[in-house]
Amino acid sequence: MHNYYPFCPQVNLWRDEKVNCIDYKNGHNCLNCIHEIPNPNGVKKALFLGDLLRTFNIKTDTHLFNTLWSIAIKFNALIYKFKKKSKNFNEKLDTLEKIEYFSQRRSFFVDSINDYVDTVLPVSKRVEDICINYGIKKKLCHTVYIGTEHSTKFNENKDKPFLAFDGIMTICYMGYMRNDKGFEFFLKGLSSIDENISKNIRIVIAAKKNDYFFDRLIKTSRRYHSLCYYNGYTHSNLDEILSEVDLGIIPPLWEDNLPQVAIEIHSRHIPILSSSAGGASEIHRRNPDFTFKVGSIIDFKNKLTSIYNKKCDMQYFANAMTPISMHAHIEELMTIYTNIISDKKTISSLEKKDRFKNSQTSETVISKAS
């Protein structure tokens, strides 16, 4: 389980692109969040087109890909101009019907998983808790943490001094400039730090540029020692980006399953300061000195200030998780799958024996009757 689609059509339980959706109020809160149900045929066409372009080695987010995609969308719209347009979701159903739809949708998914799925594999304990809270049977859930090719970095950097900065501390945010990922919150948090500390903090950002947030980042960074900006990142330049980093910042506002970026930073023996939402804080076993209450600027400020002053758990890695290798991850999955198959064979064998016994009993009864 790596997203929340069975419980949320938006996938990420992020209501109206603004707040963490803790309670959907039996479908009522979905009304102002899901305005339209995508046309299944349209989704299939989009997936087909994307796969087709990649077959010709036309990669996503390139100028050629975007141009061809735009042409295809316009062509598709031209065809539909001469066809009867399907009614909008809002026109088809009245309010009560929509509420019932969203309520029944979640119930259908949960019941189907409980009735037909052999095991549910959440990628973090937090995801498992959410699954159980929404009705998935606890006995079905088995948390399996994601493997990473970066696991070897953990041993390679095991002798790296912990928070060894002398005067200037370097913090790093990697990922996306998005609200749900906590980037805006991060900027507000940076603005709250006392200037006598902020002037001694160097900021490293590796995220695709968003003009609105980038302008705010530049303004916020003026109170800081310096800003080093990368317009996104790839695995090839991760070591360069993180080479001088003392602390990673993982501030999601939504229940982010287990951010890969948190694992990548942690694998280089760099501690992370994470929000309490989602599974990121499980990497350091929810160490209270490195976990701030989701959405709390005050708690973020206090925790970051304490870490800067080294008034925190300096034995952070003694209790933190060891990153899981891809090989170990695959081995764990194979064990789970093998056990499921073995159990099914055992059940099938027992069912055959029962059927055989029942048939013998029936033959005996028939024989006596004769």
Q: Kindly report the pTM of this predicted structure.
A: 0.81
pLDDT of 333 over the 70 cut: yes
Q: Picking from 19-33, 136-150, 211-225, 318-332, which range would have the lowest pLDDT averaged per residue? A: 19-33
CB 146 within 8 A of CB 260: yes
* Arithmetic mean of pLDDT, 221-246: 96
pLDDT at 86: 46
pLDDT at 221: 97
Q: Picking from 46-60, 63-77, 78-92, which range would have the lowest pLDDT averaged per residue? A: 78-92
Predicted confidence (pLDDT) per residue in 360-370, tens digit: 555 554 455 55
pLDDT of 57 over the 60 cut: yes
Q: Picking from 52-56, 175-179, 237-241, 318-322, which range would have the lowest pLDDT averaged per residue? A: 52-56
pLDDT of 357 over the 60 cut: no
Query: Do the strands 272-275 and 247-250 form a parallel or antiparallel pair, or are they unpaired?
Result: parallel
Q: Which three-class secondary structure string do you get for 182-249?
A: CHHHHHHHHHHCCHHHHCCEEEEEEECCCHHHHHHHHHHHCCCCEEEEECCCCHHHHHHHHCCCCEEE
pLDDT of 58 over the 70 cut: yes
Q: How confident is the model at residue 84 (pLDDT cuts 50, 70, 90)?
A: very low
Question: What does pLDDT average to over the chain?
Answer: 88
Predicted confidence (pLDDT) per residue in 302-320, tens digit: 999 999 999 999 999 999 9
pLDDT of 19 over the 70 cut: yes
What is the sign of the dihedral through the CA atoms of 180, 181, 185 and 191? negative
One DSSP character per residue, 28-78 reads GGGTTT---PPPHHHHHHHHHHHHHHHHTT--TTSHHHHHHHHHHHHHHHH
Distances in Å between the Cα of 185 and the Cα atoms of 155, 229, 240, 298, 303 are 33, 18, 26, 11, 15
pLDDT at 338: 94
Q: Which two structure tokens, joined as six digits, stand for 63?
A: 């100028």
pLDDT at 10: 87
Coarse DSSP helix, strand, coil percentages of the chain, rounded to the nearest 5 percent: 50, 10, 40
pLDDT at 78: 62
